[in-house]
Amino acid sequence: MNENTRITKTRPSQVLTECQYVTRFLNFEFVANSNSELDCYLPLHIGHGKNDANCIQHADYRFYYDTNNGQCLTFWYLGCGGNANNFYTYEVCQRTCKGEKLRAERIPRQSTHVCFHPPADRGSCIGNSSSSLQRWTYTSQQRCDKFMYTGCGGNENRCVEIF
């Protein structure tokens, strides 16, 4: 799934939370080797759906990476929602979050994660401004600001819904 898909198909509050956790590493010299490694730093989110039959059928024990103790731990997933720090098996959690590259590679960050894209890239459409679309962008001040998107080009740091 590309970053644009992740941003537009999740609840806006989840996007803001994800960006807050991703950007907290701006002050450190750390770069993840893939976006899936960044998922390891998201907080535990057990999901929702305790009383929803569609969600209950997907409820099960899962694993998440606990950054406080550097281990993959088990939790009861409620079946819907949650975030990407949610692995079907202990082995996949370990391989994704405790790999040698993840622990060893500490260089200046040059992330391609959507939260690091410059905010409010209006795009490159030429035409009248009445065709612009209202969008929201995540800023370096760790908040969401409204801007007008032209509908062409730009970057993925934009969401349709308000946070």
Q: Which CATH architecture has domain 32-104?
A: Irregular (4.10)
Instruction: Indicate the average pLDDT of the chain.
Output: 68
Identity of the highest mean pLDDT range in 39-43, 130-134, 159-163: 39-43
- State residue 83's pLDDT score: 87
- State residue 13's pLDDT score: 47
Q: Do residues 134 and 142 lie in contact, with contact meaning Cβ atoms separated by under 8 Å?
A: no
- CA gap 32, 74 in Å, rounded: 23
- CA gap 17, 32 in Å, rounded: 18
Average pLDDT over residues 110-120: 61
Domain extents in the chain: 32-104
Q: Which of the two residues, 23 and 93, has the higher pLDDT score?
A: 93
DSSP letters along 121-153, please?
------S-GGG-EEEEEE-TTSSEEEEEE-SSS
- State residue 136's pLDDT score: 75
The string of pLDDT tens digits covering residues 53-100 is 888 888 999 999 998 888 999 999 999 988 889 998 998 898 888 754
Using only the alpha carbons of the chain, give its radius of gyration.
18
- State residue 71's pLDDT score: 92
For residue 151, count other CB atoms closer than 10 A to its CB: 15
pTM for the whole thing?
0.45
- Using the structure block, give the residue that is written with the tokens 């692995």: 87
